[in-house]
């Protein structure tokens, strides 16, 4: 009985941790460049490492395969973009 309860709790924790809310909404940032793409064995993209422009500063971030910003490094990076 205890094993069933522990397995149920573990399943709930796994499902809850897999639901990731985005760090920022799509209208709050702009993707400047993609630096790396992680793919699985079937050549389907899993995530993208990107450079994000947020409030006139540049940051490293990670996009999910669905285009949601999962992570963003809080340290600014120095980029000079010539437009």
Please give the pLDDT value at position 65: 86
More confident residue, 1 or 37: 37
Helix (H, G, I), strand (E, B) or coil at 17: helix
Which residue has tokens 């309860």?
5
CB-based contacts of 36, cutoff 8 Å, min separation 6: 48, 49
Write out pLDDT tens, residues 23-55: 787 888 999 999 999 998 898 988 999 999 999
Spatial distance between the Cα atoms of 72 and 68, rounded to a whole number of angstroms:
11
pLDDT score at 23: 74
Q: For 60-76, what is each residue's pLDDT tens digit?
A: 999 988 888 888 988 98
Closest Cα partner for 60 from 31, 39, 83?
A: 31
Predicted confidence band of residue 83 (pLDDT cuts 50, 70, 90)? low
């Amino acid at each position: 009985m205890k094993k069933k309860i522990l397995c149920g709790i573990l399943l709930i924790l796994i499902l809850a941790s897999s639901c990731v809310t985005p760090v920022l909404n799509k209208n709050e940032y702009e993707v400047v460049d993609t630096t790396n793409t992680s793919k699985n064995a079937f050549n389907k993209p899993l995530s993208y490492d990107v450079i994000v422009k947020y409030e006139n500063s540049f940051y490293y971030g990670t996009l999910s395969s669905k285009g949601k910003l999962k992570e963003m490094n809080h340290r600014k990076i120095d980029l000079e973009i010539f437009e």
